[in-house]
Chain A
Amino acid sequence: MFDHFTAPTRRDLLSMIGKVGGGAAMYQAMTALGHAAESQFTGPPQLTGARPGASVLVLGAGLAGMLAAYELTKAGYKVQILELQGRVGGRNMTLRGGDTVTELGSVQKVGFAPGNYLNPGPWRIPYHHRTVLHYCKELGVELEPFMQSNHNTFVHRKAAFGGKPQRYRDLTIDWKGHVAELLGKALNAGALDSAVTAEDKAKLLEAMRSWGVLDKNMAYTKSENVGEQRGWERPPGGGVNGAPIPNDPFGLSETLDSKIWDQLGFFAEHVMQTSMFQPKGGMDRIGKAFQARVGKAIRFNTRITKIAQDESGVTASWTDALTGAVGETKADWMVCTIPATVLGQIDVQIAETKKAALKALRYGNSVKIGLEMKRRFWETEDAIYGGSSFTDQAIGMIGYPSYRCFSDGPAVLLGAYPFGVGAYVLAGMTPEKRIQAALDQGSVFHPAHYKSEFSNGASLAWSRMPWILGCCATWTEESRAAHYQDLVAMDGRIVLAGEHCSYYGCWQEGALLSSLDAIARLHQRALAV
């Protein structure tokens, strides 16, 4: 294989080791680019001394809007929130039995059993999303572990292993073993002598032998030592047949076919590392907790039709979505958290540069499908407790519930969670066809039970949500450079907030950080006038 191997430079070697090491080296690069930086949260804002009687109008009762209302009220402002929907939370949402999903073109009634739920929007909270975690604690939202990583789940690629899913554990161990063997061969062939010192070469050889679980010939082969990582044909037991029998590793080519490095790189990302958490009982516990603090300030079912401002204040014109009544609400200042997809269509009195930023901000689409199964066959038959199985079909993955493991009775699987093409394909289907597609595709992981144990399902396509028309903002380096500062700049008496106004796009952490930054600047401006 290394017949034509040219001795690489040190830089090439780093690149190679980066690929070998999965996301570890990639993470270093990401840190340098600021992508993987810790949350900037340094504690709740200490806003005090609002001018007596000063008022703030908040548009949108999602997390960004409610946090703004919560902190500004504490600072002494009179705050009112106008919300289009009849509920709080925005994308912070949980679907339970009895709930209704109203999309453009369809209405679904959720039929999950009591206690079961689907988080159709955000569903996991990284340990370093300190703003979300802080307010969960402050507002009394109980968190429990979200099982992010599970070696016993499956990876399925149509073009690998004849379409048969393989365990994440087997693929990652074999990937590591084969890569270690190859690097050992390259080192022993002298192919890297110009790139590494003799001392480092010796260390690397020892590392490859140990890390890759190579045999005495520096080959990755079936052995008890490999079995200790990869698992067994016959696992260790007691008594006369206690001796374990290792199983056969996959070959290099078929391991490569699985593209397992995609999952390795994914889990190496800062936002995907453990520990991960979820609110006990559903993600909407966070929105509900904010509602308990600021709910009295919310006017629901209020569709904003126009936003104006002058030297003395702001005015939001609105129509009551239920009664058709029209009205205006005035205040001194405004925090507007309406998503760019909708705000860009409203008559807003803001700078042309900010309008251009709104118009230049694209949104991605996503779909989530919840499948309620009559029992937890993935636990009883496949020993899978939480985590995700991955596929390159439209559904993208299936997710196993992290809560109430080992319980009897029905449980809800996440039956699909794609972005990109898979999300468009599923979003364009009727809710019934989405469920059928999710069952057909997800059956690849659990063919004996997936359809026979199915009870009922519900889906949510973000492009069909009439109040946002998409999932979340898709910035590019170019659009950030051209428009980001224009979007977040305070414009007279109006400041925007939400995940779209952050570098933590599509995360609740971004929505909250954006809100804290916005109200800090608003407060500063309000004290200055």
Chain B
Amino acid sequence: MKAFDEHESGNTVLLNFRMAALLSGTLAFAAALAVASPGLAQDRPSNGASTVEVSDEGREIYEQICQSCHMPDAKGGGVPGAMFPALAGNPRLKDKDYGSIILLKGRGGMPWFTDILTRPQIAAVLNYVRGHFNDYQDTVAVADLDRITTANPPVPDCNCGH
């Protein structure tokens, strides 16, 4: 049996994060459509839905919802190993289905937003993020979200934070 064995050095090391591949398709899509209720037994303020009105305009949806994690400049936050990914300048968003799948199903610690945003709102905020914080010109339509729902693709994995 060994005792604690600590090795400290003054060197800083570049952290090499090897993220294992996510087993794809593990969630039934029905789960993504389930209500994101915190659960019957969880501590929370009360029952009943909030009547907070979320805007229909992409920039305002971003400010109301997304920047709570991805920050107002969409550059994400935190440090490697404990971070929200940047949405600004994000090459993964080039594929317009990438963000759509994540908003519909969640990814890592990020929940799905189907119970907070309507499909037009999801499309609007994706188009804002892809057009304003990136330069992707093609647009996401509600029909794209419906197509993804039917196809039920796995949540894309990446070593890009929570």
**Chain A interface residues (CB < 8 Å from chain B):** 30, 35-36, 51-55, 57, 78, 80, 104-105, 122-124, 157-159, 259, 262-263, 265-266, 269-271, 303-305, 312-313, 319-320, 323-332, 339-342, 344-347, 352-353, 355-356, 359-366, 388, 390, 392-394, 396-397, 417-428, 461, 463-464, 466-467, 469-470, 472, 474-479, 482-483, 503-507
Contacts and interface: CB of A to CB of B under 8 A. Distances in A.
9 contacts: A35-B39, A329-B6, A346-B81, A359-B157, A392-B48, A419-B44, A421-B52, A428-B65, A506-B38
Contacts of B116: 420-421, 424
Contacts of A347: 16-19
B151 interface: no
Contact of B1 (A332, A353, A427, A469): A332
Contact of B30 (A51, A158, A319, A478): A478
B1 A54 contact: yes
B31 A392 contact: no
Interface stretch (B72-80, B91-99, B130-138): B72-80
A262 B69 contact: no
Contact of A124 (B9, B43, B46, B162): B43
Contacts of B108: 341, 344-345, 359, 362
Interface in B115-143: 115-116
B3 A356 contact: no
Give the most central of B7, B9, B52, B64: most A CB within 10 Å.
Answer: B52
Contacts of A339: 109
B84 to A, nearest CB: 6
Given A328-B7, A347-B18, A365-B68, A35 B41 contact: yes
B4 A78 contact: yes
Contact of B77 (A104, A312, A392, A506): A104
A385 B134 CA distance: 52
A330 B38 contact: no
Interface string B101-119: 0000011111110011000
Contacts of B28: 478, 482
Contacts of B88: none
Interface of B: 1-13, 15-20, 22-23, 26-28, 30-31, 34, 36, 38-52, 54, 63-69, 71-72, 77-84, 106-112, 115-116, 155, 157, 161-162
B78 to A, nearest CB: 5
Contacts of B17: 345-347
Contacts of B40: 30, 35-36, 269
B62 to A, nearest CB: 9
Contact of A305 (B15, B20, B66, B83): B15
Contact of B110 (A305, A326, A362, A417): A362
B109 A425 contact: no
Contacts of A305: 15, 81
Contacts of A393: 50-52
Nearest to A416: B45
A483 B31 CA distance: 12
Contacts of B109: 339-341, 344, 361-363, 469-470
A265 B72 contact: no
Given A54-B1, A332-B1, A344-B109, 16 more contacts: A78-B4, A304-B81, A326-B9, A326-B11, A341-B109, A347-B17, A360-B27, A363-B109, A392-B50, A419-B45, A420-B50, A428-B66, A463-B68, A474-B36, A476-B34, A505-B39
A479 B112 CA distance: 13
B68 A464 contact: yes
A268 to B, nearest CB: 10
Contacts of B34: 476-478
Nearest to A313: B2
Given A347-B17, A470-B109, A396 B11 contact: no
B44 to A, nearest CB: 5
Contacts of A362: 36, 106, 108-112
A506 B6 CA distance: 34
Contacts of B7: 327-328
Contacts of A270: 41
Contacts of A472: 38, 42
B47 A105 contact: no
A77 to B, nearest CB: 10
Nearest to B80: A345
A352 B45 contact: no
B26 A356 contact: yes
B82 A262 contact: no
A366 B81 CA distance: 22
B53 to A, nearest CB: 9
Given A327-B8, A507-B42, A467 B82 contact: yes
B41 A504 contact: yes
Given A472-B42, A477-B34, A262 B110 contact: no
B51 A326 contact: no
Contacts of A475: 39
A326 to B, nearest CB: 5
Name the residue among A54, A157, A341, A353 with the largest chain B CB count within 10 angstroms.
Answer: A341
Contact of B23 (A320, A356, A397): A356
A359 B106 CA distance: 10
B2 A262 contact: no
A79 to B, nearest CB: 9
Contacts of A463: 68-69
A397 B8 contact: no
A51 B109 CA distance: 38
Contacts of B82: 303, 341-342, 345, 466-467, 469
A362 B26 CA distance: 14
Contacts of A363: 109-111
A122 B135 CA distance: 43
A392 B45 CA distance: 10
Contacts of A122: 43
Contacts of A52: 1
Contacts of A104: 71, 77-78, 84
A424 B2 contact: no
B37 to A, nearest CB: 8
